[in-house]
Structure 1
Amino acid sequence: MLTDDFGREVTGVRVSLTDRCNFDCVYCHNEGLGDTRGPMAPRDDEMDADDVVRFLEIVPEFGVDSVKFTGGEPMLRSDLEEIVERTPSELEISMTTNGTFLPGRAADLVEAGLQRVNISQDAMDPETFAAVTKSGAYDAVLAGVEAALEAGLQPVKLNTVVFERTAGYVPEMVDHVAANPGLRLQLIEYMPELTGHPEWRIDIERVHDWLAERAVAIETREMHDRTRYWIRAADDDAAESDGADGVAPESPDAIDGPAGMVEVVDPVENPTFCANCHRVRVTPDGRLTGCLNRTDDHRSMGAMTESEIREAFRTIVETRVPFYGEYMVRDDDGGWEVNEEYVDAPVSE
């Protein structure tokens, strides 16, 4: 297993199969690439299935045990089932999607080898959903969630980006997941450093505090040091802390009865999050990057021969740097500035 200079093992890869999408979400940073979406036709430099599989056949050699397929919207790839089927069996396979294409395809994806799915759902009513996603696909997303559940992709994790327009729906989303055992919820902090509109950001610590008050158990996940809260539905007579003196236990194993899981992803200005990152990313055109927030560390895999893949992967792991706390450091006024050590770092190839 490869480890960077900061002791972080790389155990997973996140592969963006396309930057095309049938939504136009106002918060989208397109896997850190910015708003590069354009025509719905594939770009000439978009990796084909052979490109993706060549890469995935190599990474298990370095101890990587999971891959998450993302986009854009990965289900715009007509060859997605082929890519999943050809992914090496050593890798756990998951996908992030807006869910609109899951009806009619979820069962085939499961048969091909898909094991888990994240579905974006940012609100519990069609009007707000349409305003956030610039689409009228609210009902299609709900149908996609049902299709995933029916295909056996349980638990289905719902992704909600928490910012000014969606924060009011957090309690309703939490109750929805707590009342439905097949669902989990991932609350994702809005990232103004990638998308602009800093005025849309809310204090994610308030979300943590509110969840902690309702939690019947709290645990910490190794990936990014994320916090998970186990919460009972609001109408559950036992919807209160199971711990002594009102303190939630640290393990969900201590919970007596059903509870829903809510996980918070809070990367903004968070050195602890970055210090516990174990992923390498691949852009739709086959560039490796060690950090969502950076574009100056990209390494092209070119024609993706095996030797090029190995060399590019080793290099990107060797040059990985935690974004907050290392690449970005506190200035004298308490703000963030680029660490001088990385000002002259190599640019994208």
Structure 2
Amino acid sequence: MNGIKDGLNRPLQDLRISVTDKCNFRCQYCMPADIFGPDFPFLPKSEILSFEEIERLAIAFSKLGVTKLRITGGEPLLRKDVAHLIARLKNIPGIKDIGLTTNGVLLPKLAKDLVNAGLHRVNVSLDALNDEVFSKINGRGVSSNVVLKGIEAAREAGLGVKANMVVQKGINESEIIPMAKHFKELGVTLRFIEFMDVGNSNGWNFSKVVTKKEMFKLLSEQFDLVPVDPDYFGEVAKRYRYKDTDTEVGFITSVSESFCSSCTRARLSADGKFYTCLFASKGYDLREIVRSTHEEEPLIKEIRSIWNQRKDRYSDERTKESAKSREKIEMSYIGG
């Protein structure tokens, strides 16, 4: 089947699949502890898609042009036997790349299994090297060394690795240079992510955003950065290379330099809701179709209809007022 495009002529190429809404951190960015405490009602098992249901949905998406899958959460490595899911997904015709976003804590235990299952790469979230800063962010007192060990385990297992740092003014901007130096020396790509207003619980406002321009200026005082061309249409990172090396640094600029016009991503929540934007207020229920019929065509028809009508441009249109007034799905539920 040919690929499909939305109402703004953007193709559907990349599917983010959340396999759980649970996490072993209480990160202030997406799962603040005052909201996601011990009594928070996470999804019951009966509502979460089975691996077979996820596979059926991924097949339907692949027949509409999706070539890339990313497994997310919550923390996806908390989903029991997630490597078995990856092994099922890698055999879907048309799927060329499978990645996973993780906080890295369980990688020493699971990295080899993930590689053997067919995983290509991981994006590991690490917002600071300084333990005092990092402990405050993750809400559990976890040392950055725990995450660094996960990154090393992933590299040793043969996975491609990128580190992701969400930068928030007044919290961890002092870690920009130490993080850059560390990962440059390690030869690992580091991506700085502007603090975004995903969901309604992370206390976001414009004053807390450290922009790409500000970060680039700071880095340029220490490093000679060379622009790198995008690898494909819809690549969101603004990429640079440290001169005389192959090591890259990138920026995700959803706030200061939006990339809505080239967005090719869809998201599937752990309970089977289809979201056409990271900042969406509602999702479309695909689980009901999956559980009511074994036919493929109803799924394909529904996905095509939803995507064809998509006109999301939230980052283009964001204002101080809209950021406060619009209800958005939480990051822990929809994934990154």
Question: How far apart, in 1, do the equivalents of 2:181 and 2:249 lie?
Answer: 10
Q: 1:196 aligns with which of 190, 193, 203?
A: 203
Bigger relative CO (Cα 8 Å, ≥ 6 apart): 2
Question: How far apart, in 2, do the equivalents of 1:206 and 1:228 lie?
Answer: 15
Q: Could you tell me which amino acid in structure 2 is paired with residue 125 of structure 1?
A: N
1:49 and 1:36, CA in 2 relative to 1: closer, same or farther beyond 3 A?
Answer: farther
Question: How far apart, in 1, do the equivalents of 2:247 and 2:54 lie?
Answer: 35
Q: Residue in 1 aligned with 2:328? A: none
Q: Is the 8 A contact 1:55 1:309 kept in 2?
A: yes
2:288 is paired with a residue whose SS is coil
Shift of 1:141: 1.2
1:29 and 1:137, CA in 2 relative to 1: closer, same or farther beyond 3 A?
Answer: closer
Q: Residue in 1 aligned with 2:301? A: 311
Question: How far apart, in 2, do the equivalents of 1:42 and 1:21 lie?
Answer: 14
CA shift digits 1:224-269 (9 cap, x unpaired): 55311212xxxxxxxxxxxxxxxxxxxxxxx5x3242111111126
Q: Residue in 1 aligned with 2:217? A: 209
TM-score (norm 1): 0.79
Q: Residue in 2 aligned with 1:141? A: 147
CA shift digits 1:139-191 (9 cap, x unpaired): 3212111110110013x10011010211110111111111112x111111111
Q: 1:153 aligns with which of 155, 159, 175?
A: 159
Q: Is the 8 A contact 1:12 1:65 kept in 2?
A: yes
CA shift digits 1:262-305 (9 cap, x unpaired): 111111264x4111111110011001110010123534341414
Q: Could you tell me which amino acid in structure 2 is paired with residue 223 of structure 1?
A: G
Q: How many pairs does the alignment contain? A: 304
Q: Is the 8 A contact 1:301 1:309 kept in 2?
A: no
Shift of 1:42: 5.0
The alignment yields a C-alpha RMSD, in angstroms, of 2.7
Q: Residue in 2 aligned with 1:277? A: 263
Q: Residue in 2 aligned with 1:180? A: 186
The list of structure 1 runs, each at least 4 consecutive aligned residues, that deviate by more than 4 angstroms after superposition, is: 34-37, 39-42, 335-338
Q: Is the 8 A contact 1:275 1:322 kept in 2?
A: no
Q: Is the 8 A contact 2:64 2:300 kept in 1?
A: no
Shift of 1:329: 6.8
1:294 is paired with a residue whose SS is coil
CA shift digits 1:4-50 (9 cap, x unpaired): 121111111001111100000001169xxx96993678543111111
1:133 and 1:258, CA in 2 relative to 1: closer, same or farther beyond 3 A?
Answer: same
CA shift digits 1:188-239 (9 cap, x unpaired): 11113633242433334211333456343112434355311212xxxxxxxx
CA shift digits 1:33-76 (9 cap, x unpaired): x9699367854311111111111122221121110000000001
Q: Residue in 2 aligned with 1:170? A: 176
2:259 is paired with a residue whose SS is helix
Q: Extract unaligned runs of 5+ from structure 2.
A: 324-336
Q: Residue in 1 aligned with 2:331? A: none
Q: Could you tell me which amino acid in structure 2 is paired with residue 226 of structure 1?
A: A
2:300 is paired with a residue whose SS is helix
TM-score (norm 2): 0.82
Q: 2:238 aligns with which of 227, 230, 240?
A: 227
The aligned runs of 1:118-129 (5 Å cut-off) are 118-129=123-134
